DNA sequence: TTGTTTTATTTCGGCGTCCAAAAAAATGTT
DNA sequence: AACATTTTTTTGGACGCCGAAATAAAACAA
């Protein structure tokens, strides 16, 4: 309750309402929009025709409509959807051994992809931004989309991002700290850019795919090379005061526990991440600093196979991981009581090995009343959800910050009238 | 972004905006309202005169205005404030050995108080609601305020409250579970009633007293007989999906740690609460079930004195508490990175004994980057803040749910016109 | 005393958006 | 061809905001 209400707010809010319904349910007729938004048919007509005039929406071709099934009595509906040419967005996912780019149209459909293998780990604080900007330029050139058509770029990265400053404060993908990214891209390409945590982007993607299910209060834990978490609070992805994400992976489990990549001891990640499992299983000292190299998938598959065969060291490693994860979730539940916890990422392949220990830890760590209100689900989500989430977020931002306001030409027209 | 925008929303929002400015800054002139809300003078005139006609606000007497200091040039301002007779609210604070009631007017000024010593612990699930209802009746009778003038009652209680169901799911103040409160009060007195966690009400009170300071993302930890927490997320007190509060006190610190009142082992409360400190210091087994009796303040003062004298058992108890609290806060920071943590309650008397261990635990448990963004402050807040917070919350709710909508007479008039 | 200046508040007319009701459009049914 | 049905647009009225002008109420100045 901070903004005053006037006709401007009313227009923005209702335009946005209509666009949100479209993003969530896809192309629909005006009557349907009325049902979703609660607006009268008269208002839907007004708003939708303005959005069409602004080039943001478009009516579906009649041919398409005919394919919609048996025609009922009465005037047939005309379905409306986002105009793919309304805007483009770019998503960039940063890994330790390269970056992955995707270009999407105004409907969120991916027009082009690109993968660049580079040693991000050694890139300097300024060089990296330039590298990404160059890759984006190449991506756009290949798809013949001019820069000015790109309304926004989103960068997803493991670790702590400061979305206000547009920097990567700390990430396992970089040796150095405070890598500046957004400023370079905005400066070099003129494209507004946001840096965000990758697990948050998964949360964003889940909301986009099923608002019903993930729209309340939920936590998404991504297990893999590291451990990340995205929090959804009251239907919105939570970004802390500085725009940093929740750092569930670096929440302490036990004082003086195993050494973590972050330099502290006993973090959840130091039990649950790929490198931690390998370290336990191989009998290395838990104070041995983890390697910063990427871990090949086959190493993890081998470890899982060993555990399934009953190899004691491997079994013990997964037991440790389950206990740490369980107590970590127990503590999360004590603080937030989310109604849903989603476990995702390649690490969930080993859930059968982890689960019993996780459940036991939850029993020990949470009051029954709270435990019962939380549903824990395992979802086979890969890293592609990061890209989808980044695109979703970028488009929603464009909807809110640009499309909801009305056409630029309107302000132009006003000026013409005055002059 | 769920509600459609129409002129009704505009009216509600702007009325609320104006009332919020008044609640926060107290009586003010119309020009000032314009500055706070961003509304034009013309609109302020319209809105304020309607609120006055509705009996919600009133103009201050001219005499009062004169006392405001040296008169400047120009037409003098007429200050406006809430009409004390606009509505009343009742706040009830439940303790283990009695309940405390307060009646406030439409400005939040307390008109009457009442304390009733009763063994709440033994009250049954239905008897307790009746007891509270009777006490409220007596309170109102004493102040000569009729029931129908009370727009809302708020019940603050330790432990897990379900504000949706209006019950106390679990509380150390009761032997039994699922104590129904709101339904009885609403049924017997016809006063809408909400049950809430006491630490949440402290958070509510802090927001009311200094929105600037506590309005962002903050955590309030209340230390005393138990350990509670209220979370403020984006300026709003966080109530979980069921309306339950955060249960920081029952977040696990160490597996197999000392036995807690909740029946689990190793909760933060089992290290930090009064009974826990006494148990450590007295050398009792940590698996000894804690007594459910109230602990006299002098026992705690004696323990503090012993620790200050250097008594090893007492010193060790506070060291344990500091470490558990520190790691607890470290885990909280990893999940939410609040920009402020407020330590409050009688337990903070011992902060000099606790602090060094708390800081050490924080160093071990949180990445530096995050630790630096959090300010930890100790505020000498007593239980009276619970009452203030409960009143604040009730009034804000009345503002939003009743006053913002406009006069009932209006709907009446519409009906008359139609008939 | 009387006019001038200053600041606060109200009045007035216009604008934008919503809505209900009626009209128009587009198709199926008889 | 007339009627039924459903969707969409048009029309006229209401509400709430705003800018500009008018009014109100005081201090100050002549």
- Find out whether A158 and A173 touch, Cβ atoms under 8 Å: yes
B101 and B239 together in one domain? no
Query: What is the separation of C-alpha A119 from the centre of its chain, rounded to a whole number of angstroms?
Result: 23
| Pairs from A102-111 (Cβ < 8 Å, separation ≥ 24) | A102/A387, A102/A391, A103/A139, A103/A140, A103/A143, A103/A145, A103/A150, A104/A391, A104/A394, A104/A395, A106/A56, A106/A82, A106/A395, A107/A81, A107/A82, A108/A23, A108/A391, A108/A392, A108/A395, A109/A84, A110/A387, A110/A391, A111/A143, A111/A145
Given B32, B62, B85, the domain boundary residue is B85
Same domain, yes or no, for A175 and A280?
no
Contact B4 A37 (CB under 8 A): yes
Nearest residue of chain A to residue B217 (CA atoms): A241
* Statement to judge: residues B361 and B289 lie in one domain: yes
Tell me what the mean pLDDT of segment A313-328 comes to. 96
| Residue A270 neighbours by CB under 8 Å, 6+ apart | A253, A257, A258, A259, A260, A261, A276, A286
Q: Among positive and negative, which fits the CA dihedral B31, B33, B37, B42?
A: negative
Domain that holds residue A80: 7-85
B337 vs A369: CB contact, 8 Å cut-off?
Answer: no
Are A111 and A63 spatial neighbours (Cβ–Cβ below 8 Å)? no
pLDDT value of residue B414: 33
- For chain A, the average pLDDT equals 90
Q: Which two structure tokens, joined as six digits, stand for B372?
A: 């630096």
pLDDT of residue B347: 94
Rounded CA–C1' distance between B87 and D26, in angstroms: 35
pLDDT at B411 over 60: no
| A26 and A107 together in one domain | no
Within this chain, do residues B161 and B96 fall inside the same structural domain, yes or no? yes
Residue at A414 is within a domain = no
User: What CATH number does residue A181 fall under?
Assistant: 3.30.420.40
pLDDT, average across residues A360-369: 88
Rounded-to-integer distance, Cα A358 and Cα A348, Å? 12
Residue A418 in domain: no
Considering the domain architecture, whether residues A197 and A116 belong to the same structural domain is answered as yes
The domain tally of chain B equals 3
Please report which confidence band the pLDDT of residue A265 belongs to, taking 50, 70 and 90 as the band edges: very high
Q: How confident is the model at residue A419, as a pLDDT?
A: 23
Higher pLDDT, B151 or A282: B151
Q: Say if residue B346 is in the same domain as residue B255.
A: yes
Residue B245, helix vs strand vs coil: coil
A139 and A50, same structural domain?
A: no
State the nearest residue by CA to the C1' of C15: A7
Instruction: Measure the CA–CA gap between B377 and B344, rounded to whole angstroms.
Output: 9
Is any atom of strand D within 7 angstroms of residue A6's beta carbon?
yes
Could you tell me the pLDDT band of residue B367, with boundaries at 50, 70 and 90? confident
In a domain, residue B418? The reply is no
pLDDT cut 70: percent of chain B above it: 94
The whole-number pLDDT of residue A1 equals 63
Statement to judge: residues B373 and B397 lie in one domain: no
State how far the Cα of B332 lies from the Cα of B231, in Å rounded to an integer: 10
At residue A63, the pLDDT reads: 55
Whole-angstrom distance, CA of residue B198 vs CA of residue B171: 11
Residue B177: name the closest of B157, B191, B193, B203 by CA.
Answer: B157
Asked if B369 lies within 8 A of A170 by C-beta distance, the reply is yes
Q: Residue range B333-346: average pLDDT?
A: 94
**Whole-number Å distance between alpha carbons of A23 and B86:** 44
Q: Show Cβ contacts of residue B392 under 8 Å, excluding neighbours closer than 6 positions.
A: B23, B108, B204, B205, B207, B208
Confidence category of residue B407, pLDDT binned at 50, 70, 90: low
Identify whether B363 is part of a domain: yes
Partner residue opposite A327 with nearest CB, options B5, B231, B252: B252
If one counts every other C-beta atom within 10 angstroms of the C-beta of residue A418, the result is: 6
pLDDT over 90 at A20, yes or no: yes
- Whether chain A has a CB inside 8 Å of the CB on B40: the answer is no
- Strands (DSSP E) contained in A262-371 are 340-344
Residue B263 pLDDT: 86
CATH number at residue A49: 1.10.10.10
Would residue B167 count as lying in a domain? yes
Query: Chain B contacts of A13, Cβ < 8 Å?
Result: 1, 4-5, 9
* Rounded Cα distance, A335 and B338, in Å: 13
- Touching check for B370 and chain A: CB below 8 Å? yes
B112 and B195 assigned to the same domain: yes
Q: Which of B241, B256, B369 is closest, CB to CB, to A337?
A: B241
Question: Residue B417: inside a domain, yes or no?
Answer: no
The verdict on residue A1 lying in a domain is: no
Q: Quick one: average pLDDT of A159-175?
A: 88
Provide mean pLDDT across the span A164-170: 90
Helices vs. strands in chain B: H and E counts, helices first: 16, 16
Q: Residue A45 CA to nucleotide D8 C1', Å? A: 7
Is A417 within a domain? no
Give the list of residues 6+ apart from residue B320 with CB closer than 8 angstroms, or none. B271, B280, B357
Give the distance from residue B367's alpha carbon to the nearest chain A alpha carbon, in angstroms. Answer: 7
Same domain membership, residue B114 and residue B75: no
- pLDDT bin (cut points 50, 70, 90) of residue B409 is very low
**Which B positions 244-303 lie with beta carbon below 8 A of chain A?**
244, 246-248, 250-252, 254-256, 262-266
Q: Is the pLDDT of residue A354 over 70?
A: yes
Q: To the nearest 10°, the Cα dihedral for A305, A308, A313, A318?
A: 100
Provide the 10 A C-beta neighbour count for residue A307: 23
Strand B160-162 versus strand B150-157 pairing type: unpaired
Q: Are residues A37 and A146 in the same domain?
A: no
- Strand-strand pairing, B179-180 and B110-116: unpaired
pLDDT of residue B322: 97
- Cβ contact B173:B121 at 8 Å: yes
> Best of A43, A227, A240 to disrupt the B interface by mutation (most B CBs within 10 Å)?
A240
Give how far the C-alpha of residue B282 lies from the chain's centroid of Cα atoms, to the nearest Å: 34
Residue A415 pLDDT > 60: no
Q: Give the closest of B233, B248, B365 to A233, CB-based.
A: B233
Over residues A332-341, the pLDDT tens digits come to 999 999 999 9
Tell me if residue A153 falls in helix, strand or coil: strand
In the listed set A39, A55, A85, which residue is the last one of a domain according to the structure? Answer: A85
Q: What's the pLDDT score for residue A68?
A: 55
Q: Which of A15-24, A31-40, A146-155, A279-288 has the lowest mean pLDDT?
A: A279-288
Q: What H or E segment, with its residue span, contains residue B99?
A: strand B98-104
Specify the range with the lowest mean pLDDT, choosing from A31-45, B146-160, B284-298. B284-298
pLDDT score, position B20: 96
Which of B160, B248, B334 has its CB closest to that of A247? B334
Kindly state whether B174 is in contact with chain A, defined as any CB-CB distance less than 8 angstroms: no
Q: Which band of pLDDT confidence, cut at 50, 70 and 90, is reported for residue A113?
A: very high
Q: Verify if strand D has an atom below 7 Å from the CB of A73.
A: yes
């Amino acid at each position: 309750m901070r903004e005053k209400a006037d006709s401007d707010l009313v227009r923005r809010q209702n335009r946005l309402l209509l666009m949100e319904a479209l993003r969530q349910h896809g192309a629909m007729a005006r009557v349907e929009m009325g049902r979703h938004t609660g607006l009268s048919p008269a208002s839907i007509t007004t708003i939708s025709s303005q959005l069409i005039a602004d080039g943001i929406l478009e009516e579906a071709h009649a041919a398409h409509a005919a394919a919609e099934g048996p025609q009922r009595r009465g005037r047939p509906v005309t379905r409306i959807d986002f105009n793919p040419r309304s805007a483009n967005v770019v998503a960039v996912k940063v890994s330790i051994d390269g970056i992955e780019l995707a270009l999407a149209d105004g409907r969120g459909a991916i027009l082009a992809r690109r993968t660049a293998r580079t040693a991000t780990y050694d890139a300097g604080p300024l060089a990296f931004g330039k590298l990404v900007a160059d890759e984006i330029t190449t991506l756009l050139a290949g798809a013949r989309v001019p820069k000015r058509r790109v309304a926004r770029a989103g960068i997803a990265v493991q670790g702590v991002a400061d979305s206000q400053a547009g920097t990567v404060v700390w990430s396992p993908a970089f040796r150095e700290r405070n890598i500046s990214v957004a400023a370079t891209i905005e400066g070099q390409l003129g494209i507004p850019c946001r840096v965000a945590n990758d697990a948050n982007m998964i949360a964003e993607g889940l909301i986009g795919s099923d608002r019903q299910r993930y729209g309340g209060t939920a936590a998404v834990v991504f297990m893999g090379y590291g451990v990340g978490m995205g929090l959804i609070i009251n239907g919105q992805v939570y970004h802390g005061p500085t725009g940093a994400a929740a750092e569930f992976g670096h929440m302490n489990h036990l004082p003086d526990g195993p050494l973590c990549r972050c330099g502290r001891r006993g973090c959840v990640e130091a039990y649950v991440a790929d490198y931690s499992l390998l370290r336990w299983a191989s009998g290395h000292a838990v104070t041995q600093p983890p390697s910063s190299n990427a871990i090949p998938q086959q190493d993890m598959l081998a470890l899982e196979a060993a555990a399934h065969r009953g190899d004691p060291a491997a079994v013990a490693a997964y037991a440790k991981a389950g206990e740490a994860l369980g107590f970590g979730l127990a503590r999360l539940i004590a603080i937030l009581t989310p109604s849903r916890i989603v476990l995702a990422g390649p690490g969930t392949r080993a859930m059968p090995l982890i689960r019993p220990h996780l459940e036991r830890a939850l029993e020990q760590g949470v009051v029954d009343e709270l435990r019962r209100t939380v549903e824990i689900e395992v979802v086979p989500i890969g890293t592609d959800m990061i890209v989808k989430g980044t695109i979703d977020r970028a488009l929603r931002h464009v909807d809110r910050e640009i499309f909801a306001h009305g056409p630029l030409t309107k302000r132009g027209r006003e000026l013409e009238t005055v002059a």
